[in-house]
Amino acid sequence: MRHVAVIGSGPAGYYTAEACQKAFGDAVRVDIIDRMPVPFGLIRSGVAPDHQSIKGVSRRYEATALSDNVRFVGHVSVGTDVTIPELLDLYDAVVLATGAPQDRPLGIPGADLPGVVGSAAFVGWYNGHPDHAALAPALTGPGAVVVGAGNVALDVARILAKTADEFAGSDIVGHALDALTGQASDAITILARRGPHQIAMTPKELGELAHLSRALPTVDPADLPPAAEDAVLDPGTRKAVAHLRAFADHPRAGDDARTLPIVFDFFAQPVAIEGDGRVERVIVERTRLDEQGRAVATGETYAIPAQLVVSCIGYQTPRVEGVPYDEKLGRFANDEGRIAPGLYAVGWARRGPTGTIGTNRPDGFLIADHIAADTADDSAKSGRPRLDALLASRGVDVVTFRDWQDIEKAEVANARDGAPREKFVAVDAMLGARK
Ligand code: NAP
């Protein structure tokens, strides 16, 4: 028997549990520990609420969670309720699957003004993460500026642009639905510090902007390279750039009704955020590309009026005391997932915040291979019973997967018409929904 503790119940955590089941069969016990009383991490609180088909992957994790050798140990904070050295003492392998839920800092003057938020906070707000439920972003005013040219920037711009009807069937939380459909910016600007060929956006996500009822995506044709140069792009980026070319090619029939511009501002790097006590404008510097394709400042600046700035420039993994950390890359220092004897990292905590949800699956199998190679199946560790005793002695109110199923039932019962669920946005409310 091997005893494995996985910290974090998002995709990387569940794929690791699944891989351990496949590798060791009945001869493994996996405890998936999460500080939240609810599982699935990024699937619940990161994936956009209007992308329900992507969220459907949690059904696969549920099958893993309901098997006898995998447990969900929710509402347990590693570092507070139990430490990494204690877990290493109890388990053969401890796997950090803590993701990358912290925003990378924008690092420009004024970035700490009220009205400037990171995408982790903004996405957490509309997805009902308890840490961000009280965010109350400023939605009415001259502009929302979204910094970054990745898929998170697209999620944020799309959610800011949608009407109430366009949220039908989504599980956007009530507080965000009310706020977003009652208020609006005059314009949404996506600031990309490089050009159309350097975007980190994917075609499907970019194409969605073309079908919004009140918003009109626009691209300055002068920013687009000659069409013949698209041939050098990988097929995905080429398709995405084709959408940008279509956005540059307006007006089109029906555009009159679309009064909310989503402006793609390419070669545009924010250099300061200004305002009297809160954000009023973003100072942007024009860039050009150098021979290596990097953004170089040109010295030309201009101001974009804004009441809200959402920085979507990537994420980092939170530090855990005593665990080596790579400052530059914003994740745990590791060698192919190995951190120290018995200690591993998987998913975004290992690789950094890139790739799709499915990218985490091979990651989980890699870690299961490491565990097979590094540990023996006749473990002297005690695993579950001693963790339970330790947590009970500390008065920790552990949430099980069965408890989560009660919470989920209550969320489904609370759903508004047509929505799959209305999420609890406070930990106490989640705990109170247990039978
Ligand atoms: P990302 O794909 O790494 O994009 C980050 C963007 O921020 C890049 O355009 C980058 O520009 C820009 N940036 C970085 N530092 C900057 C700075 N200091 N100033 C201005 N711009 C800066 O990250 P993400 O959008 O957070 O997405 C994370 C991962 O989740 C990605 O793999 C993404 O595809 C995935 N995701 C997928 C979906 C989906 O499939 N529906 C939805 C959301 C997220 P440079 O290129 O110039 O560095």
* 339-389 confidence digits (pLDDT tens): 999 999 999 999 999 988 999 999 999 999 999 999 998 888 989 999 999
Check residue 251 and give its pLDDT: 60
pLDDT higher than threshold 90 for residue 241: yes
Closest C-alpha to ligand 1, atom 36 = 151
Q: Where are the domains of the chain?
A: 2-101+317-432, 104-311
Output the CA 154–ligand 1 centroid distance in Å: 9
- Residues 404-429 have pLDDT tens digits of 999 999 999 999 999 999 999 999 99
Check residue 379 and give its pLDDT: 82
The pick from 151, 237, 292 for probing ligand 1's pocket by mutation, whose C-beta has the most ligand atoms within 8 angstroms, reads 151
pLDDT, average across residues 262-277: 98
Output the CA 153–ligand 1 centroid distance in Å: 7
The alpha carbon of residue 40 and the mean position of all alpha carbons in its chain are separated, in whole angstroms, by: 12
Check residue 59 and give its pLDDT: 87
pLDDT, the chain, mean: 95
Check residue 336 and give its pLDDT: 97
pLDDT, average across residues 25-40: 97
pLDDT higher than threshold 90 for residue 257: no
Check residue 252 and give its pLDDT: 58
pLDDT higher than threshold 60 for residue 94: yes
CATH number, domain 2-101+317-432, options 3.40.50.620, 3.40.920.10, 3.40.50.720, 3.40.50.970: 3.40.50.720
Q: What sign for the dihedral angle of Cα 158, 159, 162, 168?
A: positive
Ligand 1 pocket at CB < 6 A = 147-153, 155, 193-194, 198, 200, 202, 205, 269, 295, 312-314, 353-356
* Closest atom, ligand 1, to C-alpha of 355: 32
- Residues 124-135 have pLDDT tens digits of 999 999 999 999
Alpha-carbon span 141 to 139, nearest angstrom: 7
261, 271 in Cβ contact below 8 A? Answer: no
Alpha-carbon span 360 to 19, nearest angstrom: 11
CB atoms closer than 10 angstroms to residue 177: 20
Secondary structure letter of residue 276 according to DSSP = S
Report the relative pairing of strands 343-345 and 338-340 from DSSP bridges: antiparallel
Q: Does domain 104-311 have CATH number 3.50.50.60?
A: yes
Closest C-alpha to ligand 1, atom 30 = 354
Buried b (16+ CB within 10 A) or exposed e, 302-338: eebbbbbbbbbbbbbbeebeebebeeeebbbebeebb
pLDDT, average across residues 163-179: 97
Output the CA 151–ligand 1 centroid distance in Å: 6
